[in-house]
Structure 1
């Protein structure tokens, strides 16, 4: 299964929602491969809310289902909420990670 998703970033003032970037994911056997462009957005991936807080040279900071944010360096794996996430690459404002 392959899907395109649009990220949503909530603005603090007025509670408005803004569509940002173009993102995608595909899932097979409970593992999802995710590509995200831009930080400060929330994605729905395989029924879970994934908040992309920051994308930088050092890695990606995310939270899942309201968990405590985790900063994950490229090539590393961390438990984030109910899932394990491995950041596979970061190029500018674009990041790829696997989620299981």
Structure 2
């Protein structure tokens, strides 16, 4: 990677800057998914009653009574990201 990624805080921001530098189109939806997933993890288990958790569960459509569907949706988003990266791997070299 070239550029000044060291100044960026967080690995998702560094990934986003790298994808933009490589002129990878449509990375924004995947970056948004990764940020939302990170927010869910950060505000999850120990903070379920907090406002941050309530907000991110609405964003990711987390269903309180249907954890299997929620997990499936999260896995689908992660799989879409992996496919996106694989599809763009030639550009990333």
TM-score, structure 1 normalization: 0.23
Name the larger-Rg structure: 2
TM-score, structure 2 normalization: 0.24
Larger strand fraction of residues = 1
